[in-house]
Chains A and B, each alone.
Chain A
Amino acid sequence: MTDFLLENFWIIPIYSLIGALITLPWSLGIVRQTGPRPAAYINILMTIVGFIHSSIIFNLIWSRPAQQLVFHWLQVADLDLTLSFELSPVSFGALEVVAGISLLVQIYALGYMEKDWSLARFFALMGFFEAALAGLAISDGLLLSYCLLEALTLSTYLLVGFWYAQPLVVTAARDAFLTKRVGDILLLMGIVALSTYGEGLSFSQLDTWVEVNQLDSTVAAFLGLALIAGPIGKCAQFPLNLWLDEAMEGPNPAGIMRNSIVVSAGAYVLIKLEPVTTLSPVSAYGLIIVGSITAIGTSLMAIAQIDIKRALSHSTSAYMGLVFIAVGLRQVDIAFLLLFSHAIAKALLFMSAGSVILTTNNQNVTEMGGLWSRMPATSLSFLVGAAGLIAFSPLGMFWTYHRWFSGSWDVDWWLLLLVMFVNVFSAINLTRLFRVIFLGPPKVKSRRAPEVPWQMSVPMVSLMMVTLIIAFAPIEWPLWLSPNRPLVLAQPELITQYATPLLIVSGALGCIIGSTIKVRKAWARSSNLTLRFFQDLLAYDFYIDKLYELTVIAAVSNLAKLTSWLDRYIVDGAVNFVSLATIFSSNALKYNTSGQSQFYIATIVIAVGLLLWSMINGHWSLVTNYWSSMM
């Protein structure tokens, strides 16, 4: 039995895909008399099956070496496209996280979406989403990973577009798709190039190819940059970061997935690709620069947000920025730990945010307050989730940072400063949010706030437990991803001695600032103009969207208008003229079909007819002979 499960491990993503397909009778509106909930139950069941299957395997593979399963998908000419899967503790660890969070989120959605009649469509999309994520976790090839990243792009589009009739959703879904697509297309360019230069597209093949390749350094740089573009889009890194903000228009359960494991999926591919992306120093620096800009920029943006989901989603970009930096420094184990710690804690924060939104019918944090003693599961979830992210409390992120700066890795002061920066601002942001949401006197929208039903609170409490437990993961992590275990530096430098205390101090500092700063009152603005300027600058994401509008979007739409105009008046006219003026009078192209044009038709028909007649005439015997010989 276990062997059977082990051999067919690639089937795990397919479970949820089947679940998604089974929902069709409900989501297509074939079943109309009864409600859509069976679709939800089936999907949850499928996720449970997948979770059990992967858990069994996860327990089995500790003692085994990593193993690849290769399907030959398509062989054409000299190209052999394979889809490969990996059976290893890392891939199944990732799969467990995906299946686990997905399961919790689906149960959560049962409560959060209970009033939504399109439940079946929602769960179908979640099933598809989960299938793509699960596939990514165990994928061992760039081609398969690309396909699945695209599937994620599609399902993000559909999930953000779930409430399709809401005006802001219409643009948000479109922008989410197109922004991610920019990254994806660049990634596809990279894959096409890599597939041309390299030996194969599986990650292990790429690893060996990197050692022996003799690529021109410019080409290598472009290749690396193209390959990181995909993850830049997926992980909402500058300059492709705004979609995540807009995507918050979608339903919250999908938001939980998006901010925890979907962004991580992009980074996961990046980690797997690390040998290639850091092949050229240009792309390695590119990763570090993009990561740093994003980490700093989005940390600042987050503290000015008044929307509960957006305040959290910008912080997601910031943490992904740290992951990018870690990958750029080739410290992939740290990158993986950052991802892991962040994903769990952020999922928890988003669950808590969702239950606040549902109870208060509101996302504006300045209109909240006083929820603490009435919503224990929600407020504790927020507290634990925040503690998991801030390096002050001894939970996941603290131990991850500690591991990073403990002397095993080659770190520098700038890095420590950056991490401290993110930590301070994360602490400010989360403390600020906790204060305005849960403490203080209740406001009119948070006056009546009963705790959410069990479908939502059980996932929250479970994930809270997980967050507390997995604090051990960074401590015990066996550094699977690094081919050579980093050595403990013989002489601990100054930085390794001071890093941990400094991080704790930074976290504490952030918490203190966050709990003392003046928070904005609802619908009221400070009268200080400078303050307002900075508030707006950060709240509206440095006006990056305006920048896009003025540059890329304007360029494309003007070019489109120009070509369309050219096409109608110049190209069409010129070709009509050049090609036809010599043969026919240009009158033939006027709108009327009378007179001349019918004459032309008649000419052509008669000419063809005559031709055929002349051929067939006298040759009937031939045709009949042929057919009689066939009979």
Chain B
Amino acid sequence: MARISKSSKSLLVEEYITRLEQGSALLDDSPQNLIEVVGILKSYGVVLDAYSVNLNYIADTQFLKLFPFFKYFNGKVNANTIAKFIAHDRLNYEYAEYCMKAMFWHGGGGVDAYLDTPEFATETERLIKAYHRYNPLMLALHKAFPDFMCEQMRQMAYYSALGQFWRVMSDIFINLSDSYEKGKVKSIPDVVQFVLDGLVADAALPITYTVHLRGQEYNIIPKSAGLTFLMDTGVPYIEAIFFRGTPFAGTVSYNAQAYEIPYDLGMFNYGALYADPLPIGGAGIPPTLLMQDMRHFLPDYLRQLYQVKSVRGLGDLRVQICESFQKSMFCVTTAAVKGLAPHPLDTNDPEEKLANRKYLTRWLNRILESQIIKVNNETQDQSALRVK
């Protein structure tokens, strides 16, 4: 990442604001970028579908279990699935949990706030009492450590919330890929618009979490809580996963005396937009799991691109996937930024424009610290090469 001086940075922010106002995306538009973004979002969509199904399965059936041995099986426990599990011939649902935990840990948004309300506490208490009705040992434990199972249920709520969020995202991405194949999506701004439309369409989708136990229904997050898709899961998700993230043990020292990790979670910049793709595949880099999962579902056109893009062909596939993935996440971020703007970005009303600018500056100051500049520079280098 090139160091940017203060004045040149504000210039850069200006430049990107203009871009966004003119309807462009953060990511430069180029044919290769389009192939990479759409192709990777297709495989991401497939993976997210599986993740989402699993997260919802865990939230609905594995809550309060001390030994959820088969939580990744989605209820299909047979010799075949067990053999595949042992051979690690499966998707890495650990990554979905990792995202869920990061989101839970960073908090923010309505879900996080609701988990601290008395309503949540009462309903959870009722569920715990019912669940362990015949288990005095666990009830005693609950008495001694009253927050233990409560905290587990908070986590379950996040399993469910992220599962619901990814359900929507997965559909958007797969539809995007279908549109692309039908020739409707032709550029990066088209991709952004498609994602934006998807987000807006489902923005008010309620987020709820209900579990069933012995015929009883427990509304851990009832509809009446008024939690919605975009503001209560989408925004916290972008904040927690795209921007903040958690430091990777493989690149950052946790040593307290080294003071490498900031105290303030708001200063965290370990998220997907900031991550360095080069160490992917190495030790202590959790996103490797996601890249590994996506490698199974790459569309052929993308696989062919990777084959020629690197000296190693598919030998460094996971790093290449990560590079494309980062590009696609810039598109999703653009869509989110556009969607959350106080006024439409192409407005001509000066007052609205001013409000937009204020809003965009705040975002871009953070976004421009990420890998976007580097990614765009590389895109420009490639186009320059092609012109030659």
Give A residues with C-beta under 8 Å from B.
33-38, 41, 114-118, 121-122, 162-169, 248-249, 251, 305-308, 310, 357, 360-367, 372-376, 444-445, 447-451, 453-454, 522-523, 539-540
Which residues of B in the span 120-155 have a Cβ within 8 Å of any Cβ on A? 141, 144-148, 150-152, 154-155
Across-interface contacts of A248 in B (CB, < 8 A): 255
Chain A to chain B contacts (Cβ below 8 Å), 27 pairs: A34-B88, A35-B90, A115-B94, A115-B95, A115-B98, A116-B283, A117-B288, A118-B283, A121-B283, A122-B283, A162-B283, A162-B284, A163-B250, A163-B284, A165-B279, A165-B283, A168-B258, A307-B257, A363-B256, A364-B256, A364-B263, A376-B144, A448-B104, A448-B105, A450-B152, A451-B148, A453-B68
Interface string of B207-251 (1 = CB under 8 A from A): 000000000000000000000000000000000000000110111
B152, A451: Cβ atoms closer than 8 Å: yes
A311 to chain B, nearest CB (A): 9
Which of B95, B148, B154, B252 lies at the interface centre, i.e. has the most chain A CB atoms within 10 A of its CB?
B148
Given the complex, which residues of A lie within 8 Å of B150, measured CB to CB? Answer: 374
Complex partner residue of A115 from B66, B90, B145, B286, CB under 8 angstroms = B286
B79 close to A (CB within 8 Å): no
Interface members, chain B 27-76 (any A CB < 8 Å): 66-68
Task: Tell me, yes or no, whether B87 is within 8 Å of chain A by CB.
Answer: yes
> In the bound complex, do residue B292 and residue A117 qualify as a contact, i.e. CB atoms below 8 Å apart?
yes
Task: Output the residue of B88, B150, B250 with the most chain A CB within 10 A.
Answer: B88
Asked whether any CB of chain A lies closer than 8 Å to the CB of B253, the reply is: yes
Known contacts being A166-B252, A307-B255, A447-B107, is A117 close to B265, with CB within 8 Å? no
Judging by beta carbons under 8 Å apart, are A168 and B147 in contact?
A: no
Contact B279 A36 (CB under 8 A): no
Once bound together, how far apart are the Cα atoms of A364 and B260, in whole Å?
Answer: 11
Decide: A117 and B255 in contact? CB cutoff 8 A: no
User: CA A165 – CA B249 in complex, angstroms?
Assistant: 9
Complex CA gap A367/B146 in Å reads 23
Residues of A within 8 A of B265 (CB): 444-445
Cβ contacts under 8 Å, A367 to chain B:
263
Given A34-B88, A38-B86, A118-B282, A166–B256 Cβ distance below 8 Å? no
Q: What's the A-B contact tally at a CB cutoff of 8 Å?
A: 146
Among B88, B98, B255, which residue has its beta carbon within 8 angstroms of that of A37?
Answer: B88
- Is B329 in the interface zone, CB < 8 Å from A? no
Cα distance, A453 to B68, chains bound together (Å): 9
When C-beta atoms are compared, the residue in chain B nearest to A41 turns out to be B86
Give the residue name and chain of the A residue nearest to B283 (CB). A118
Which residues of chain B come closer than 8 Å to A165, judged between CB atoms? 250-251, 279, 282-284
In the complex, chain A residues whose CB is within 8 Å of the CB of B20: none
Inter-subunit contact B282/A168 (CB<8 Å): no
Q: Which of A166, A444, A454 has the most CB of B within 10 A?
A: A166
Determine the residue in chain A with the shortest Cβ distance to B145.
A376
Q: How far is the CA of A363 from the CA of B290 in the complex (A)?
A: 26
The number of residues on chain B lying at the interface, defined by a beta carbon within 8 Å of a beta carbon of chain A, is 54
The reply to whether B253 and A166 form a contact with Cβ atoms under 8 Å apart is yes
Known contacts A121-B283, A165-B250; A374 and B151 CB within 8 A of each other = yes
Given contacts A35-B292, A115-B95, A376-B148, contact A249 B253 (CB under 8 A): yes
Closest to B89 in A: A34
Chain B: interface secondary structure? loop
B303-348 residues with Cβ-Cβ distance < 8 A to A are: none
Distance in angstroms from B306 CB to nearest chain A CB is 14
B298 within 8 A of A: no
Which of B90, B98, B256, B283 contacts A163, CB < 8 Å? Answer: B283
Contacts of B68 in A (CB 8 A): 453-454
If the complex has contacts A38-B88, A115-B286, are A375 and B148 also in contact, measured as CB distance less than 8 A? yes
B249 nearest CB neighbor, chain A only: A163
The answer on a CB contact under 8 Å between A374 and B145 is: yes
Expressed in whole angstroms, the Cα–Cα distance for A357 and B261 within the complex equals 13
Q: Which of A166, A361, A362, A364 contacts B284 (CB 8 A)?
A: A166
When each residue 74-108 of chain B gets 1 if its CB lies under 8 Å from chain A and 0 otherwise, what string results? 00000000000011111010110010000011010
Q: Which residues of B are found within 8 Å of A444, using beta-carbon distances?
A: 263-265
Interface check B302, CB cutoff 8 A: no
Nearest CB of chain A from residue B266's CB, rounded to whole Å:
10
Whether B285 sits at the interface, judged by CB under 8 Å, is: yes
- Complex: how many Å from CA A116 to CA B286? 6
Partner of A34, one of B87, B141, B154, B254: B87
The 9 closest A-B CB pairs, nearest first, are A35-B88, A364-B256, A118-B283, A307-B256, A37-B88, A115-B286, A117-B288, A373-B147, A163-B284
User: B288 contacts which chain A residues (CB < 8 A)?
Assistant: 117
Q: How far is the CB of B256 from chain A (nearest CB, A)?
A: 4
Q: B203 an interface residue at 8 Å Cβ cutoff?
A: no
In the docked arrangement, what's the CA distance between A36 and B105, Å?
27
Q: Are B255 and A116 interface neighbours, CB within 8 A?
A: no
B373 within 8 A of partner (CB): no
- Closest Cβ–Cβ distance, residue A383 to chain B (whole Å): 12
Docked-complex contact A118 and B147, CB < 8 angstroms: no
Contact partners of B151 in chain A: CB under 8 A: 374, 448-451
The verdict on B299 contacting chain A, using a C-beta distance below 8 Å, is no
- In the complex, the answer to whether A365 meets B88 with C-beta atoms within 8 Å is no
- 20 other contacts beyond A166-B253, A454-B67, with CB at 8 A cut-off? A35-B92, A35-B292, A37-B88, A116-B249, A118-B282, A163-B251, A163-B284, A165-B279, A165-B282, A168-B258, A305-B256, A307-B256, A357-B254, A362-B261, A365-B256, A372-B145, A374-B145, A375-B148, A444-B263, A447-B105
The reply to whether B257 and A374 form a contact with Cβ atoms under 8 Å apart is no
Q: Chain A residue with minimal CB distance to B264?
A: A444
A114-B94 in contact (CB<8A): yes
Known contacts A117-B281, A117-B292, A454-B67; A539 and B94 CB within 8 A of each other: no
Q: Does B289 contact A (CB under 8 A)?
A: yes
Closest to B103 in A: A448
